[in-house]
Amino acid sequence: MMSLTRRRLLHATLGAAVLPAAGAPQARPLIDVNVSLGHWPYRRLPLDEPAALAARLVALGFDEAWAGSFEGLLHRDLASVNARLAAACRPLDGLRLRAFGSVNPLLPDWAEDLRRCAIEHRMPGIRLHPNHHGYNLTHPSFAPLLHLAAEFGLIVQLVVSTEDTRTQHPLTRVADVDLRPLPDLLRQEPESRVLLLNHRPQALPPEMAGLPNLFFDIARTEGTDGVARLVSLAGPERVLFGSHAPFLIPEAALIRVEEGLLAGLPEEAADSLLFTNARRLLHA
Partner 1 sequence: MPAAPPAWSPLPPSGVLARYEIWDSYLTQERGAATVPTIEALLPLVERAALKKLCYFADVGLGTASPAIEAWVSTHPDQIDEPLRRWPELMLGMIQLNARDVPRSLVALDRWLRDGPMVGVYFPGSAPAGLPCTHPDVARLVERVAELGGSIMMHTWYKTGEAGPPHGSTPSDLAELAARFPGQTFICAHAGGNWELGLRAVHELPNVVVETSGFDATAGFLEMAVRELGAERVVFGSHLPSRSLGTELGKILFAGLDENQKRLVLGGNFRRLLRRA
Instruction: Give yes or no for residue 258 binding partner 1 (CB under 8 A).
Output: yes
Closest distance to partner 1 from the beta carbon of 71 (Å): 18
Residue 167 amino acid letter = T
Residues contacting residue 58 through CB under 8 Å, at least 6 positions apart: 2, 6, 93, 94, 95
Report the C-alpha gap between 79 and 55 in whole angstroms: 28
> 176 with 165: CB under 8 angstroms?
yes
Go through 124-143 and write b for each residue having 16 or more CB atoms within 10 A of its CB, e for each that does not: bbbbbbbbbbebebebeebb
Instruction: Give yes or no for residue 24 binding partner 1 (CB under 8 A).
Output: yes
Site string for partner 1, 65-104 (x = CB under 8 A): ----------------------------------------
Instruction: Give yes or no for residue 17 binding partner 1 (CB under 8 A).
Output: yes
DSSP for residue 18: G
CB-wise, 120 or 222, nearer to partner 1? 222
Instruction: Give yes or no for residue 276 binding partner 1 (CB under 8 A).
Output: no
Instruction: Give yes or no for residue 222 binding partner 1 (CB under 8 A).
Output: yes
Please spell the DSSP secondary structure of 181-197, one letter per residue.
THHHHHHH-TT-EEEEE
Helical packing angle, 226-234 and 250-262, nearest 10°: 70
Residues contacting residue 91 through CB under 8 Å, at least 6 positions apart: 97
Closest distance to partner 1 from the beta carbon of 260 (Å): 9
Report the C-alpha gap between 3 and 112 in whole angstroms: 42
CB-wise, 128 or 274, nearer to partner 1? 274
How far lies 107's CA from each of 111, 133, 260, in Å? 9, 9, 41
Instruction: Give yes or no for residue 20 binding partner 1 (CB under 8 A).
Output: yes
Segment near partner 1 (CB under 8 A), from 13-21, 66-74, 86-94, 107-115?
13-21
Closest distance to partner 1 from the beta carbon of 250 (Å): 8
Segment near partner 1 (CB under 8 A), from 39-47, 92-100, 146-154, 188-196?
39-47
Instruction: Give yes or no for residue 45 binding partner 1 (CB under 8 A).
Output: yes
Instruction: Give yes or no for residue 170 binding partner 1 (CB under 8 A).
Output: yes
Instruction: Give yes or no for residue 268 binding partner 1 (CB under 8 A).
Output: no
Segment near partner 1 (CB under 8 A), from 23-31, 74-82, 84-92, 186-194?
23-31
Segment near partner 1 (CB under 8 A), from 80-88, 137-145, 148-156, 222-230?
222-230
Of 257, 265, 269, 278, the one binding partner 1 (CB under 8 A) is: 257
> 118 with 152: CB under 8 angstroms?
yes
Segment near partner 1 (CB under 8 A), from 86-94, 146-154, 182-190, 218-226?
218-226
| Residue 282: closest CA among 123, 105, 50 | 123
Parallel, antiparallel or unpaired: strands 96-102 and 62-69:
parallel
To 5 degrees, how large is the angle CA 97–CA 88–CA 148? 70
Identify residues 51-70 at the interface with partner 1 (CB under 8 A): 60-61
Per CB under 8 A, residues contacting partner 1 are 13-18, 20, 24-27, 30, 43-47, 60-61, 163-170, 173, 220-226, 245-249, 251-259, 261-262, 270, 274
